[in-house]
Amino acid sequence: MPTPSRRHGTQKTNHFSPNTVYKPAMTTMLAGPAPVHELQPYKSLLNDELTRRIQKVRRQFGSQLLILGHHYQQDEVISLADLRGDSYGLSQNAAASSECRYIVFCGVHFMAETADILANRPEKLAERGGVRVPVILPDLAAGCSMADMAALHQIEDAWDQLGEVVDTNDITPVTYINSAASLKAFVGRHGGIVCTSSNAEAALRWAFARTSRVMFFPDQHLGRNTAIGMGITLDQMPVWDPFADALGGNSEQQIRESKVVLWKGHCSVHQMFRPEHVTMFRDKYPGIKILVHPECPREVFELADVSGSTSKIIKTVESSPPGSKWAIGTELHLVNRLKQQHPDKEIHFLSPVVCMCATMYRIDLAHLCWSLENLVAGTPVNVIEVDAETARWSLVALERMLEVK
């Protein structure tokens, strides 16, 4: 019987805090000459002035420029976006545009990577005669706490350790789209698949049609909530802690009996919602419905009336009758926007504390204006470019996702 080696486990260095300085993933190359415009002066400009200058650049580039705004983005930024949506939908729509020559992604780092992979895939490059569409992230500090909880070397280390206990040919790696391109490429190379919060169950079914075991990263909650809905029990889902000494803190027996090995990662925003918040809203507002994102912990997810992706949350509120009462467990900016857009409904944020995506919030009008005016000057800043090999394998995993229904 193979014995796991004790050489494993990683240094405890990358747990997220709002003050974390985001380090771009290894697969990202930042290219270009020194910027004509420095950032600092933009920080003292008023929002009206910044908005006027951003609009000027938008008029100048016309349909060649696409500013993408994620649903969790702050209002003054998202009001200037050409497209709004979730991370994959935005990348897909931008890549589908035949006129687009520049993408500015007001989201976080992994989203810009996905946009680069899709917009600059081989057939798109061929259509444009080899011309790349630069994808710009206005502030490189806009990372994702969840994506940062799984680094490639940690995943490779876990895979090696799993291989000392079970056959890795019988494991399908599944990564949530909220992950670095290097992880998507790992999944592509190892016969795995990417999933979103909308199609996680379909991706798991796809995986179980091929192997008897799945390794799911980086969000333990999405993995657990989805697998429970498929009848997989908690004792079949050990959690892999990359900082544990060996086997992610599990015994060999736990690994052998596992169906889904969950990565110990989470979203710092959705992790904040607690079961007592659900109880409090139900006590205080009789008839209220609880609507949550599947990145929330299981204890909250199981108490909710409705759960689903950001798009499903928006559609659920839109299609509910006037007078409906909702307490929503997802990012604060989106909930506040839904509140403004639906004054005929009673909408509450499902937490007494502020849960907002602090890293996405770093993309403000000053960074947006600075990155756009450098684009005009011919010195694009913060260009996110995934190396060809990583992009190729990431695309394999993303294309598998598109095949599942």
Q: Summarize as ranges the residues that interact with ligand SF4 (CB under 6 A).
A: 72, 108, 144-146, 178, 267-269, 331, 357, 360
Instruction: Answer for the pair 194, 172: CB distance below 8 angstroms, yes or no.
Output: no
Q: How far apart are CA 317 and CA 345, in angstroms?
A: 8
* Cβ-based nearer residue to ligand SF4, 215 or 334: 334
Residues 44, 84: Cα–Cα separation, whole Å: 27
Nearest distance in Å: CB 383, ligand SF4: 20
**Which CB sits closer to ligand SF4, 87 or 374?**
87
Q: Starting from the edge strand earliest in sequence, which strands make up the sheet with 213-217, in order?
A: 193-195, 171-176, 213-217, 260-263, 239-240
Q: Please state the closest distance from residue 310 (CB atom) to ligand SF4, in A.
A: 9
Q: Of 204 and 360, which has the nearer Cβ to ligand SF4?
A: 360
Shortest Å distance, C-beta 120 to ligand SF4: 22
Name which of 384, 382, 372, 380 is nearest 61 in CA terms: 372
Q: Which two tokens stand for residue 122?
A: 């081989």
What is the C-alpha separation between 283 and 88, in angstroms, rounded?
Answer: 37
Cβ nearer to ligand SF4, comparing 42 with 72: 72
Q: How far apart are CA 295 and CA 293, in angstroms?
A: 5
User: If we measure between CA atoms, which residue out of 383, 231, 224, 202 comes closest to residue 301?
Assistant: 224
Q: How far is the CB of 360 from ligand SF4 (least distance, A)?
A: 6
Rg of the chain (C-alpha set): 21
| Nearest approach, Cβ of residue 323 and ligand SF4 (Å) | 30
Q: Where are the alpha helices (DSSP H) in 8-151?
A: 47-61, 75-78, 87-96, 109-119, 122-127
For ligand SF4, the closer CB: 271 or 320: 271
Read off φ and ψ for residue 113, nearest 5 degrees. Answer: -60, -45
Q: Both ends of the chain: CA-CA distance in Å?
A: 39
Q: How far is the CB of 367 from ligand SF4 (least distance, A)?
A: 16
Q: Cβ closer to ligand SF4: 182 or 320?
A: 182
Q: Least separation, in Å, of the C-beta of 308 and ligand SF4?
A: 15
Nearer to ligand SF4 by Cβ, of 82 and 86: the residue is 86
Return d(Cα 296, Cα 298) in angstroms, integer. 7
User: Of the two residues 254 and 309, which places its CB atom closer to ligand SF4 in the complex?
Assistant: 309
Which pair of tokens denotes residue 295? 């990145």
Q: How far is the CB of 145 from ligand SF4 (least distance, A)?
A: 4
- Secondary structure (3-state) at 95: helix
